[in-house]
Amino acid sequence: MKRNEVMALIATTILMFAVCLSASAKGKRNVERGMTKQEVIAILGEPKLTSFDMYGDKWEYDKYNYLFGDSKYITVFFDRNGKVVQYDTRIIEPNSQTSNVQQPHPPTPPLCDGRCDPDDRMNYGYTLDDASFNILYNKVKKASFDDNKFDLIEVASLGCYYSCAQVVRIMKIFPFDDEQLKALKMMAPHIVDLQNTGLIYKVFSFDSEKEKAEEIIRNSK
């Protein structure tokens, strides 16, 4: 492989890793993804406001800077296991009614029809939004060689979570069953809607390949 092709691949993999990290954890500061409520309290203290919904808890803080007169509004989102999944801040300037950062929004959870994986994998992360996934899809599709395609998938999977429909789209980039199974093996540990794995099995024409796909998903838990 030529040197410029190697450099292009390195740059692309770094870009995809950055995209995935930003999609899965926005605005992290001292509070890190996966921290417990006790760890958050140790850093920020008790929250000023708390609320919850079917996906988890929301804690809100209002930190006033007596030196500069501005306020920092902090929002921490927890999953149903009490682990941090998102951390957002915005600064409210003195005598200002609005923030210089957009109001944080809770992460969009994956769809669940009540038949979610008993291991509750959906709490470990949220699927890529359409824009971020399309970046990944197009990069993989346009890569010159299969090795480059798999490198991109491997790097993206360090920080991304997928729906079964997204996995199917990536798999269909490859024309042969063995390649499709290899892509599935890389992405399977990061699938959040295991109740929809039927979409993945439909990619294959032969029962033997469907059984291999089922084994890959089963072993990825």
The reply to whether 174 falls in a domain is yes
Phi, psi of 143 (to 5 degrees): -60, 140
CATH number of the domain to which 65 belongs: 3.30.1450.10
The reply to whether 111 falls in a domain is no
Paired tokens of 52? 């919850």
- 134/199 same-domain check: yes
3-state secondary structure of 90: strand
- 19/66 same-domain check: no
The reply to whether 137 falls in a domain is yes
| pLDDT computed for residue 65 by the predictor | 57
| pLDDT computed for residue 192 by the predictor | 83
Per the structure, the count of domains in the chain is 2
- 165/87 same-domain check: no
- 130/96 same-domain check: no
Burial class (CB in 10 A: 0-12, 13-18, 19+), 192: buried
Query: What gap in Å lies between CA 148 and CA 140, rounded to an integer?
Result: 8
- 136/176 same-domain check: yes
Average pLDDT, 10 consecutive residues per value, the chain (221 residues): 58 61 49 89 86 85 62 86 87 56 41 40 57 89 93 85 92 96 94 89 95 93 70
The reply to whether 83 falls in a domain is yes
| pLDDT computed for residue 186 by the predictor | 94
| pLDDT computed for residue 17 by the predictor | 59
Instruction: Find the domain containing 18 and state its range.
Output: 3-23+125-219
- 94/145 same-domain check: no
The reply to whether 113 falls in a domain is no
- 11/41 same-domain check: no
The reply to whether 204 falls in a domain is yes
**pTM exceeds cut of 0.85:** no
Q: Classify the C-alpha dihedral 161-80-87-108 as positive or negative.
A: positive
- 92/37 same-domain check: yes
Query: What gap in Å lies between CA 92 and CA 69, rounded to an integer?
Result: 9
- 94/172 same-domain check: no
| pLDDT computed for residue 166 by the predictor | 94
| pLDDT computed for residue 106 by the predictor | 40
Q: Which residue, of 75, 106, 137, is where some domain finishes?
A: 106
